[in-house]
Amino acid sequence: MRKMELQDRESVKCMLCDLDETQLLYVKDSFNIVRCKQCGLIYVNPRPGEGLLAEIYRQEYHQAYQGKDFVKLHEGEFKKRLFEERIKIIQKYKKGGRILDVGCSYGYFLEVARGRGWDTYGIELSQYAADYAREKMGLNVFSGDVFSVDYHDYFDVCTLWHVLEHMPTPIKSLQRIHRLLKKDGMIVIETPNINCSKAKKQKESWGYLRLPEHLYYYTSATIKQLLSKCGFEIIHTTSADFGSGATSIADRMGIKGTREVLLRHYRYLRWLRAILAWSRKISRQDEFVVICALKVERDSLRENDK
């Protein structure tokens, strides 16, 4: 990336309370991560400008995955197992219908949902990933972001798996999702939890402080404020992880690149799965938060509210 593009920054106020009074928490990769003194929201400020963000997503997917089908295949296997667990949570509240996965990537979650009888749709910003989901997985995927899809009262469930923290205008995006959902529709969000035990211990070296892609760092409390502002009422909150227990043990032992090794051999090495299962039992499993919230009608909601 060119140096000039990295200098593309913009200052923002707290999106929840519109104040500009913050405390500096960390400096990472030349970005400041701050906490709002009023509401506790943690975010990057100043943050990458629009031009830089577009460039990040254009480059990231091409460099990270093109030509690496082997890693992708195994990452897919690994993620589908996790999504089997996640869809069980969804089905406690919604038995079926139309489901929209925002930021669906290669379509692994939608493939799992389709297998359980859901009518599946996806939205994906990366052209490469969207093409893959359409052509290789046979899924119905729109290119772009939530503003590229124009439906009203259409979906029963809308999912965001590790997408919210990337969104530069979360309130506008969630209000858009509110419009896309049917009356009593449900939004499901999974995002890193900056209040987790690992983040507190590792501070600025916590793996999910990922700059410049992750713009917001949520806790259960700040997600609750955000959702209520956008017309949603939380009905389920749970802690989760990414099967990261084994990788964190290996990290402590100083073994590098464990995640990649795990992904490559996940299918074949039964003992690795056993370690993973055991380590997840003993680990805190609070690195992510999974939240389900129902759409509530509110006359005061306007899509243009910031």
Which residues in this chain contact Zn ion in the complex, by CB under 5 A?
A: 14, 16-17, 36, 38-39, 41
> How far apart are CB 16 and Zn ion at their closest, in Å?
4
Integer Cα distance of 122 and 140 in angstroms: 6
Q: What value does the CA radius of gyration of the chain take, rounded to a whole number of Å?
A: 19
> How far apart are CB 39 and Zn ion at their closest, in Å?
3
Report the residue number, 139 or 194, with the smaller CB distance to Zn ion. 194
* DSSP assigned state of 146: G
Task: Read off the amino acid at residue 36.
Answer: C
> How far apart are CB 42 and Zn ion at their closest, in Å?
10
Report the residue number, 172 or 179, with the smaller CB distance to Zn ion. 172
**148 phi-psi bin (left φ>0, alpha ψ -120 to 50, beta other):** alpha
Report the residue number, 34 or 41, with the smaller CB distance to Zn ion. 41
Task: Read off the amino acid at residue 72.
Answer: K
Report the residue number, 44 or 246, with the smaller CB distance to Zn ion. 44
DSSP secondary structure of 169-231: SHHHHHHHHHHHEEEEEEEEEEEEBTTSHHHHHHGGG-TT--TTT--EEB-HHHHHHHHHHTT
> How far apart are CB 98 and Zn ion at their closest, in Å?
34
8 Å CB contact between 42 and 208:
no
> How far apart are CB 248 and Zn ion at their closest, in Å?
31
Integer Cα distance of 292 and 214 in angstroms: 21
Report the residue number, 226 or 294, with the smaller CB distance to Zn ion. 226
> How far apart are CB 40 and Zn ion at their closest, in Å?
7
3-state SS assignment for residue 162: coil
Integer Cα distance of 279 and 87 in angstroms: 22
> How far apart are CB 216 and Zn ion at their closest, in Å?
11
> How far apart are CB 22 and Zn ion at their closest, in Å?
8
DSSP secondary structure of 248-272: HHHHHTT-TTHHHHHHHHTTT-HHH
8 Å CB contact between 165 and 191:
yes
Report the residue number, 80 or 224, with the smaller CB distance to Zn ion. 224
Biggest CA-to-CA distance, the chain: 55
Report the residue number, 102 or 226, with the smaller CB distance to Zn ion. 226
Q: Give Cβ neighbours of residue 124 (< 8 Å, ≥ 6 apart).
A: 103, 104, 105, 130, 133, 141, 142, 143
Report the residue number, 157 or 194, with the smaller CB distance to Zn ion. 194
